Structure 1
C-alpha cells in the first residue's frame, strides 16, 4: 500500500468516514479531534443516496437507518401550504438505496463514533496539530499537547473553519453567500412523510424533513441578520417573527415549538479551493476545501465521497503523489458542479425575479449528474 499509517485531523462526519475507510483497508489510523468531548450534536441532516452509499462502504449504514427516515420523493409548496408539485428524487447512490434519508445529526455521528472505536482507530480528544515538518516519505507532527507522531499521510478534515488549511498555507477562505438559516428540531407531524419546501413567502424559503420516528428538522432561509445572533441560542421569538407568513405543516410546526426550543442561526458560507488540496503528504478534504450552501443537500455526500475515494486511492499500489493527483482528478469536477449549482440556486432564491430562474430544474439536473460513479 502507498500508506500504512495516517493521521486524520477532525472527528466530524468527514474525518470519521475517512478513518473507517482507511482502517477497513488495513491502515493504522490516528484521529485527533479538537473538542474534548466526541459525540453527535446539532440539528437534523439530509443524507442523499450517494452519502448512504459511502456509509454502507464503511459499515455504518444499517445502524444509521435504524433511526433515520428514508424517502424517495419531495414536495414543493406555496407559502400558504398549497401544493406546487411532487417530485421523485434521483437515486444518486443506486437503485438499491433510498434517494434521500432524513436523520438526526447526533444519531449519525454517534453511529460513526462507535464504529471508529470498534475499528481500532486511536482517538485522541482535545487535540490538534501545532506544527509539522515534511520529508519525501513521511510527515512529522507536533500536537498541541507537545506530543509527536510520524505518518505516511496527514488528512485534514476539520471543517469550514479549518485550522489545517491555515497551517498548510492555503489562503482561500469561506465567504458569506448572502443568506442565513434558522434551524430547529421539532415534533414530527404524523402526515410528514418526506422533505417539503415552501416558496413565495416573506423570506427566501422554508422547509422541513422527517429525521426520526417522532422528530423533524425545520428551517427558514433568510437574509443575513445581525452577526451577534449567530450560534445555537437565537431567540425563538425572532424565528416566529421571521417565519410568519408560512402556512401548512410548516406554520403549525412553528406555532407549536416550545419556548425552550434550541434555535440555531447561521450565516451560510461557501468555499472552493481551486488549487490542489494537498501539499506533499498533507491533504485537506470535505468542508475544509469545498463547502456549499445546503440547497441541494449534498454537503454530507460530497464529504463522505471524498473520504471513501481518498482511502481507496492511497491504499493502492502506486505512490502517494500519484494517488493524490488521481484524487483531485476524480473529485474536483464533481465537487465543482455541486458547488456552482448550489451558488446559482442561492442567487436565484435571493433574487427570484431573475429571468430564467428555475430552481427545480437545477436541483434535478444536479442529482441526475451525481448518479454517475463518484
Structure 2
C-alpha cells in the first residue's frame, strides 16, 4: 500500500497564512519549502486587530507569548458619536479563542510579520525570498512546480497562500477575482492618547465610520472608511494632511489623534475588496487557502483569524495519515461554512455602513453574533 503521509510541501506566499502553515507543518515533521516573491520579508506598518480565535492559532504554532509581549489585549468595543465622541454603546467582545485567551489583541502588523518570519526560519523551513511559482504540473502521486529562479520542486502538496490576488489561484484555473466592496480605508499609526483603553468606532459622521485600537503602550492604529477614491491614492504616501482634511467632523479621541498627525505622516489607503472561491479550492495535489480562497472586508477583524485557522486546520488534517486526495475536499467542507459566514456578515455590515438607513441595519448585532458563532471549533 502506498504511504499516504505528506512528507514534503511547497508553500507559496510568506504572509500570515503561509507562515502559520509552514510552522504548523514543520512542527509535525513535514519538510517545507516556502517561496515568497518579496525580497525583503517584512510586513506593512499599520496596525492589526487580532481576535481570540487567531490568538489560539498562533499559540498552536508557538508564537503567542512573543506576540502578547508586543501587543495590547482588550475586551471591549465602544461605539461613539462622531461629532463629540459621546458614548452610544459598549459591546463586550466574545472570547472566540476560549476563556484562557484575551478576546482581542491590538498589534503592529510589522511586529506580527517579524515574529512569524523568525519562527519559520528557526523551525528549519527552507525559505526562498524573491522567488515564486511559474508553472504547476500535477503528476498524480506528486506535484512538480517550476520556480521563477529556474529550479523545480517535486512535493506531495502545493499550497497557494499568496493572498487576494493569488497567482496560484489563476494557475489552477480558478476564475474568481477580487470584487471592490465600495469602501476605501485610510490607516495610520499614531501616538496613543492616554484615555484609549480599547477599540472604539465612531458613527453618524461625514464618512462611513472612523475608529482606532491600541496596539502598544505608546501607539494606536486609527482608520477612516469612506467611498472609493481615485486609484492614485492607493498605497503608502505622506498623506497626513489629506487624512486630516478628509476626517474633519470627527471629535473625541479620534479628533485628538487627527490633530496630532504631521502633515507628512505616512498613511496607507486601500480599496476594500472581497473574494470567495465557491468552487473547489483544490486541483489534484494543489490547493489555495487563506485570502487566496476567501478574503473578507476587515469590518469584523476576522481576516487574519480566518487565514491562521485555515493553516492550522489543514496541517492538522494532513497529519492524520489520510490520502491527500481525501484530505483536500474534507478540509474545504470543514472550512467553507465558517469562512462564508464571516464573509457574508462582513459584506452585510459593509452594506449597512454605506447605507445606514437600510431597514433592520444593526452593525453592533451582526458583529456580536458573528463573534459569538466563532467560539465554536474551527
Name the TM-score, length of structure 1 as normaliser. 0.99
| Count of aligned pairs between the two proteins | 374
Pair 1:264 & 2:268 matched:
yes
Q: CA deviation at 1:235?
A: 2.4
C-alpha distance in 2 between matches for 1:360 and 1:147: 51
Q: CA deviation at 1:74?
A: 1.2
SS in 1 for 2:235: coil
Q: CA deviation at 1:2?
A: 2.6
C-alpha distance in 2 between matches for 1:161 and 1:318: 30
The residue number in structure 2 matching 1:85 is 89
C-alpha distance in 1 between matches for 2:45 and 2:288: 24
Pair 1:202 & 2:206 matched:
yes
Pair 1:214 & 2:218 matched:
yes
The residue number in structure 2 matching 1:364 is 368
The residue number in structure 2 matching 1:95 is 99
The residue number in structure 2 matching 1:165 is 169
- After superposition, the CA RMSD in angstroms is 0.8
- 8 Å contact 2:23–2:61 — kept in the other structure? yes
The residue number in structure 1 matching 2:79 is 76
Q: CA deviation at 1:234?
A: 6.0
- 8 Å contact 2:244–2:261 — kept in the other structure? no
C-alpha distance in 2 between matches for 1:222 and 1:309: 35
- 8 Å contact 1:234–1:265 — kept in the other structure? no
- 8 Å contact 2:238–2:263 — kept in the other structure? no
Structure 2 unpaired stretches of 5+: none
The residue number in structure 2 matching 1:5 is 8
The residue number in structure 2 matching 1:25 is 28
Q: CA deviation at 1:55?
A: 0.1
C-alpha distance in 1 between matches for 2:50 and 2:66: 14
Structure 1 unpaired stretches of 5+: none
The residue number in structure 2 matching 1:44 is 47
- 8 Å contact 1:72–1:88 — kept in the other structure? yes
- 8 Å contact 2:299–2:349 — kept in the other structure? yes
Name the TM-score, length of structure 2 as normaliser. 0.98
C-alpha distance in 1 between matches for 2:70 and 2:338: 30
Q: CA deviation at 1:37?
A: 0.8
C-alpha distance in 1 between matches for 2:244 and 2:5: 54
Q: 1:82-116, CA deviations, whole angstroms, 9 ceiling, x for partnerless residues? A: 01111111000000000000000011111000100
Correspondent of 1:15 among 9, 12, 18:
18
Q: CA deviation at 1:186?
A: 0.3
- 8 Å contact 1:277–1:285 — kept in the other structure? yes
C-alpha distance in 2 between matches for 1:2 and 1:205: 49
- 8 Å contact 2:241–2:262 — kept in the other structure? no
- Runs of 4+ in structure 1 off by over 6 angstroms are none
